[in-house]
């Protein structure tokens, strides 16, 4: 309960440190640093600034997507269709742009609209039709998958406009890619929204105790719909940012993102029970997941090792939390 | 017109009555759907096609039996797809031509299936976590092992096993026969034994069950073990049918089995519903799949893509329809 109430008051640093969630967040960052040191010991070649920036770049997509997932999990739900939104928007963006620079803006806006609509659909199903979140989003996942397969007929086509790809190649100060900048800005924005705004408080409240929030006059349905729509919008934005870096169309772009974003949020200290967690932990969660992925890729067992490690990781984190809550 | 409207009203009231677990509506839906289908696609009712639908529905039906047990007990099993894939790979990796080996490996697969189910149940027993998270994670875990086992080729399954498991003549076929047999056994267990009543009670009100001195953990583990066993049977059958194993065979069965169960009137909250509804749900899905394949073939489309969409919409509308129960 402390974790839920924490953002409502202004807290001194010492008080923040005493809340269970804050300790968890520091733990996650320490875990990331330990993991980073281990990876440096294993492969000395990666001890460069460039390599660290590469890690940031790889994590940026997941990081942005996981912001949405974090908010959804905080309301007590789960979103299993984010990966499909990423692929659908990716395929649409490239297919409709088809090398024409004048269409960039329109196509991007359309992509964002598609993502938000998918999220809105989830939100409406969960609140108005009272369908369990995982069933609803699993269904949406299948529907979206069907849609992009029908659109591409299994063989995606299209090329990116050169000016759009230049955005992906652009480096701020010759080093930092745009995607990392977007990630930092969005994370900061959503940490602020969740901690300091009325909307953020209500997200915490619904997850912690939905009945209580209804009784205090919060329109739960609206907040939940807004959260799922935001998750869809962020997934679409992530997809567009990821597309900037792609040289060709891929139907597998979003395949891992649903699972990865859940892992990032949960490892970052957001609890499935709802109400506890935040984007500040998810940032480190995304870094950890991507670091593990890159280590596994170096060992050449990424395709199955990742599934094993992530499933055990999520289970153990959730199991540890469940024990803590019960006592 | 008046009595007809009244009948409809009583019928709808019956459905909305939470005390009844009626699967009537799904049977009505089946008949209502069948009429336009027969008009548009007369080939659908040809005996050869009907036999085909029966064969196609067997694997889904078997998985859905297990899923119904788990959902009735208030849980959910999202790992069925991965369990099927993993079992198919275990079978195809270990099998050789000798009959003794075939039997031994098949038995091993069944044991593995039960163990996978038991693993789900034990994790749920040890930690108070939502079953969605647990089975989602174990599902990814099983899929991970399946990918590790799935090297370049899908392994080897002897011809003899394929011939036995896919034999058919006229309306009778081994897969459908097996399904009917399993359905009879598990329907008997669910409706006529003490364990079956406990499964309903577990989903309906676990607290009361626990306070009346029943070890609910054991009942819960057993429901997952039933699901695992049936997944193992389907895994062996799918591997035998295509004579190889794959880490992707089971993918579609997770959502399809949940859809068949929920469309058939089993409540996601547990304790309400039953296997007869699931049977109707399975028929509905197999019928739609068959019709879809037919239409897709006619217009040269890829039917699997549309199948995903239709399954999703079907499950959403079923959940929407049953939203006022419980």
pLDDT of residue B7: 64
CB contact under 8 A, A272 and B129: yes
Q: Is residue A241 part of a domain?
A: yes
Contacts of A296 (CB under 8 A, 6+ apart): A302, A305, A306, A309
Domain count, chain A: 1
Interface residues on A facing B, Cβ-Cβ cutoff 8 A: 78, 125, 129-132, 134-136, 138-143, 145-147, 149-150, 153-154, 259, 272, 301, 303-308, 310-312, 314-315, 318-319, 322-323, 326
- Mean confidence (pLDDT) of chain B: 88
Is pLDDT of A12 > 90?
A: no
User: A7 lies in a domain?
Assistant: no
A280 CA: distance to closest CA in chain B (Å): 23
Name the pLDDT band for A130 (thresholds 50, 70, 90): confident
Predicted confidence at residue A160, as pLDDT, reads: 85
Q: Do the domain assignments include residue A162?
A: yes
Mean pLDDT of A130-140: 91
Q: What are the structural domains, with CATH classification, of chain B?
A: 26-35+44-321 (1.10.3470)
Asked if residue A279 is part of any domain, the answer here is yes
Give, as one character, the DSSP assignment of residue A175. Answer: T
Angle between the B216-242 and B159-166 helix axes, to the nearest 10 degrees? 110
User: Residues 273 to 302 of B: which have CB under 8 A from any A CB?
Assistant: 302
The pLDDT assigned to A5 comes to 47
Of the candidates B83, B23, B38, B49, which has an alpha carbon nearest to the alpha carbon of residue B279? B23
Confidence category of residue A2, pLDDT binned at 50, 70, 90: very low
Give per-residue pLDDT as tens, B137-178: 999 999 999 999 887 677 888 888 888 888 888 788 999 999
Let me know if residue A248 belongs to a domain. Answer: yes
Chain B CB contacts of A312 under 8 Å are 137, 141
| Strand B172-173 relative to strand B168-169, pairing | antiparallel
Instruction: Return the pLDDT at B301.
Output: 78
Radius of gyration over alpha carbons of chain B, in Å? Answer: 20
Residues of B in contact with A129 (CB under 8 A): 316, 319-320, 323
CATH number of the domain at A311, please: 1.10.3470
- Name chain B contacts of A305, Cβ cutoff 8 Å: 144
What confidence score (pLDDT) does residue B164 get? 86
Residues in B 113-172 with any Cβ partner in A closer than 8 A: 123, 126-130, 132-134, 136-141, 143-148
Contacts of A134 in chain B (CB under 8 A): 78, 132, 136
The confidence score (pLDDT) of residue A290 equals 93
Facing residue for B319 by CB, picked from A131, A154, A308: A131
Cross-chain Cβ contact A146/B306 below 8 Å? yes
Which percentage of chain B shows pLDDT scores above 90? 48
For residue A1, the model assigns a pLDDT of: 44
Asked whether residue A9 is assigned to any structural domain, the reply reads no
The answer to whether the CB of B237 falls within 8 A of the CB of B71 is: no
Lowest mean pLDDT among A204-213, A313-322, B134-143: A313-322
Domain holding A308, by residue range, is: 58-322
- pLDDT computed for residue A99 by the predictor: 81
Separation in Å, CA of A209 to nearest CA in chain B: 17
Distance in Å, alpha carbon of B305 to nearest chain A alpha carbon: 4
- Kindly list the distances between the CA atom of residue B131 and the CA atoms of A136, B134, B137, B138, in Å, as whole numbers in the listed order: 16, 5, 10, 10
Angle between helical axes of A20-42 and A279-298 (0-180°, round to 10): 20
Weakest-pLDDT range from B63-77, B201-215, B227-241: B201-215
Tell me whether residues B319 and A129 touch, CB distance under 8 A. yes
The residue that leads in pLDDT, B16 or B161, is B161
Q: What is the reported pLDDT for B155?
A: 81
* DSSP letter assigned to residue A172: E
State pLDDT tens for residues A216-250. 888 999 999 999 999 999 999 999 999 988 878 88
**Which residues in chain B have Cβ-Cβ distances shorter than 8 Å to A301?**
148
| B22: confidence class by pLDDT, cuts 50, 70, 90 | low
In angstroms, the Cα distances linking B151 to A216, B53, B283 are 57, 33, 35
**Using one digit for the tens of pLDDT, what is the confidence trace for A30-55?**
989 999 998 888 888 878 888 899 89
Mean pLDDT of chain A: 87
Question: B110-132, pLDDT tens digit by residue?
Answer: 999 999 999 999 999 988 888 99
In this prediction, residue A274 carries a pLDDT of 78
Q: Average pLDDT of B84-96?
A: 92
Tell me what ipTM this predicted complex has.
Answer: 0.85
User: What per-residue confidence (pLDDT) applies to A167?
Assistant: 85
What average pLDDT does this structure show over B87-103? 91
Per-residue confidence (pLDDT) for residue B13, from 0 to 100:
60
Amino acid B4: pLDDT = 67
Whether residue A29 is contained in a domain is answered as: no
Residue A269 lies in a domain: yes
């Amino acid at each position: 309960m402390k974790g839920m109430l924490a953002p409502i008051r202004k807290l001194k640093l010492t008080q923040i440190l005493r809340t269970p969630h804050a300790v968890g967040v520091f733990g996650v960052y320490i875990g990331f640093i330990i993991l980073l040191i281990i990876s440096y010991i294993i492969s000395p070649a990666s001890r460069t600034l460039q390599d660290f920036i590469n890690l940031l770049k790889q994590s940026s997509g997941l990081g942005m997507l996981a912001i949405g997932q974090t908010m959804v999990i905080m309301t007590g739900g789960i979103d299993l269709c984010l990966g499909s939104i990423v692929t659908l928007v990716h395929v649409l963006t490239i297919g409709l742009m088809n090398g024409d620079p004048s269409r960039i803006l329109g196509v991007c806006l359309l992509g964002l609209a598609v993502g938000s609509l998918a999220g809105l659909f989830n939100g409406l199903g969960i609140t108005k039709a009272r369908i369990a979140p995982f069933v609803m989003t699993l269904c949406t996942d299948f529907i979206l998958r069907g849609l992009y397969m029908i659109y591409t007929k299994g063989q995606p086509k299209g090329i990116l406009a050169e000016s759009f790809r230049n955005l992906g190649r652009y480096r701020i100060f010759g080093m930092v890619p745009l995607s990392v900048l977007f990630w930092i800005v969005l994370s900061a924005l959503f940490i602020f929204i969740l901690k300091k705004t009325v909307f953020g408080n209500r997200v915490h409240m619904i997850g912690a105790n939905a009945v209580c929030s209804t009784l205090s006059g919060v329109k739960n349905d609206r907040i939940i719909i807004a959260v799922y729509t935001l998750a869809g919008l962020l997934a679409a934005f992530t997809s567009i940012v990821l597309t900037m870096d792609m040289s060709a169309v891929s139907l597998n772009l979003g395949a891992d993102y649903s699972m990865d974003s859940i892992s990032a949020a949960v490892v970052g200290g957001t609890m499935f029970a709802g109400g506890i967690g935040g984007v500040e932990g998810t940032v480190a969660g995304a870094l950890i997941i991507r670091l593990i992925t890159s280590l596994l890729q170096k060992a050449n067992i990424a395709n199955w090792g990742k599934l094993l490690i992530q499933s055990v990781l999520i289970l153990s984190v959730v199991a540890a939390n469940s024990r803590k809550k019960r006592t | 017109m008046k009595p007809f409207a009244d009948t409809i009203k009583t019928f709808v009231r019956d459905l909305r009555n939470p005390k009844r677990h009626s699967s009537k509506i799904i049977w009505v839906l089946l008949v209502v759907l069948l009429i336009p289908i027969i008009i548009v696609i007369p080939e659908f009712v040809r005996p050869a096609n009907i036999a085909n639908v029966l064969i196609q529905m067997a694997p889904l039906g078997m998985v859905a039996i297990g899923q119904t047990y788990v959902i009735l007990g208030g849980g959910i099993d999202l790992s069925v797809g991965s369990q099927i894939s993993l079992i198919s790979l275990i079978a195809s990796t270990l099998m050789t031509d000798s009959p003794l080996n075939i039997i031994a490996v098949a038995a091993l697969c069944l044991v593995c299936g039960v163990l996978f189910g038991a693993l789900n149940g034990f994790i749920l027993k040890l930690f108070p976590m939502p079953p969605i998270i647990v089975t989602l994670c174990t599902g990814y875990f099983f899929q991970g092992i399946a990918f590790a086992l799935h090297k370049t080729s899908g392994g080897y399954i002897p011809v003899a096993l394929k011939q036995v498991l896919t034999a058919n003549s006229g309306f009778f076929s081994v897969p459908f026969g097996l399904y009917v047999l399993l359905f009879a056994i598990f329907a008997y267990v669910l409706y006529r034994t003490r364990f079956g009543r406990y499964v309903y009670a577990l989903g309906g009100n676990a607290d009361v069950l626990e306070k009346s001195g029943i070890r609910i953990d054991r009942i819960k583990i057993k429901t997952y073990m039933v699901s695992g066993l049936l997944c193992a049977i389907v895994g062996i059958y799918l591997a035998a049918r295509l004579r190889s194993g794959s880490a992707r065979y089971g993918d579609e069965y997770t959502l399809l089995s949940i859809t068949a169960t929920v469309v058939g009137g089993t409540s996601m909250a547990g304790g309400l519903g039953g296997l007869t509804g699931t049977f109707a749900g399975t028929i509905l899905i197999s019928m739609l799949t068959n019709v879809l394949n037919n239409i897709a073939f006619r217009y040269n489309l890829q039917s699997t893509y549309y199948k995903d969409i239709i399954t999703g919409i079907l499950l959403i509308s079923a959940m929407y329809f049953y939203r006022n129960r419980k």
